[in-house]
Amino acid sequence: MGKRAPVRRLVLDMLKPLDPSLIEIGKALASVKGISAVNLVVYEMDRKTETVKATIEGDNVDFEKVKKVIEKFGAVVHSVDQVVVGKRIIEESETPQDRFLKVP
C-alpha cells in the first residue's frame, strides 16, 4: 500500500464541559502539527455541557491527535460528520436526492 492521501478537513460533533472555554480548546487544536484552521461553534448548551460543531482544516489533519487534544480537555467526540481527503478540499455537491431531504 502506497502513501495515503492526507485528511484536509474534519467536521466533528463533540460534547464538552462548560469549562474549559472554546478559546482554550481551539488554540490547543490549532497548535497541532498539520492543522491550519479551527472553527468551533456551540449549537446546544445545558447547565453543565456544550455540544459543539468543530471544523478543522489543514495539510494533514491527524484524527487521533485531534481526539487526544479534545479528550485532554474532558470533552468527547460524538461523531465524525464530514471528512475531506486528498490533494485539495472539495465542497459537498448537491444531488437529486437532496431535494427530497430538504424540509420546506
Q: How many domains does the chain have?
A: 1
What separation, in Å, do the N-terminal and C-terminal C-alpha atoms of the chain show?
Answer: 46
Q: What is the residue range of 45's domain?
A: 7-88
Question: Could you give the CA distance from residue 62 to residue 8 in angstroms, rounded to a whole number?
Answer: 9
Q: List, for residues 19-29, the tens digit of each pLDDT value.
A: 999 999 999 99
- Residue 80, classed as helix, strand or coil, is strand
DSSP three-state, residue 77: strand
CATH number of the domain to which 43 belongs? 3.30.70.1340
Is 79 a member of any domain?
Answer: yes
Strand intervals (E) in 3-60: 7-17, 37-45, 49-57
- Answer yes or no: is 95 within a domain: no
Could you tell me if residue 2 is inside a domain?
Answer: no
For residue 98, is it within any domain? Answer: no
Task: Give all strands of the β-sheet with 49-57 in edge-to-edge order.
Answer: 37-45, 49-57, 7-17, 76-85
Confidence of residue 12 (pLDDT cuts 50, 70, 90): very high
| Domain annotation covers residue 104 | no
Name the average pLDDT for the chain. 92
pLDDT band at 104 (very low <50, low <70, confident <90, very high): low
Task: Tell whether 75 is covered by a domain.
Answer: yes
The answer to whether position 99 is within a domain reads no
**Does 97 map to a domain?**
no
